């Protein structure tokens, strides 16, 4: 079983966003969705639905971003 950074995708109300992806990135998203589906014992997820959780995960684990964000946030007194 692969150790993926994403867990099952939560079913949430979608928001339409248009973005152009390189073909190689789209192929990787399709493959990731297939593997994630197998890991969760479900059908393959829509690869486009992986983008938001991946971005959220990336931002949540980016220590440099967290430090910079804390510096920009007003100090609570």
> Cβ-count burial of 37 within 10 angstroms (0-12 exposed, 13-18 middle, 19+ buried)?
middle
Q: What is the pLDDT of residue 1?
A: 59
- Provide the residue-wise pLDDT of the chain in tens; the chain has 77 residues: 567 677 777 777 877 778 899 999 999 999 999 998 888 888 877 888 888 889 999 989 988 888 888 888 776 54
Q: What stretches of 1-77 show up as alpha helix (H) in DSSP?
A: 23-40, 51-61, 63-72
Residue 27 · residue 47 · CB < 8 Å: no
CB 10 within 8 A of CB 45: no
Report the pLDDT value the prediction gives residue 75, as an integer from 0 to 100.
65
Q: What is the pTM of this model?
A: 0.65
């Amino acid at each position: 079983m692969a150790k993926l950074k994403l867990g099952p995708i939560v079913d949430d109300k979608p928001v339409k966003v248009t973005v152009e992806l390189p073909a190689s990135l789209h192929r990787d998203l399709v493959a990731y969705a297939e593997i994630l589906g197998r890991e969760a014992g479900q059908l393959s997820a829509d690869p486009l639905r992986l983008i938001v959780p991946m971005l959220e995960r990336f931002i949540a684990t980016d220590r440099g971003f967290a430090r910079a964000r804390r510096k920009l946030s007003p100090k609570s007194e």
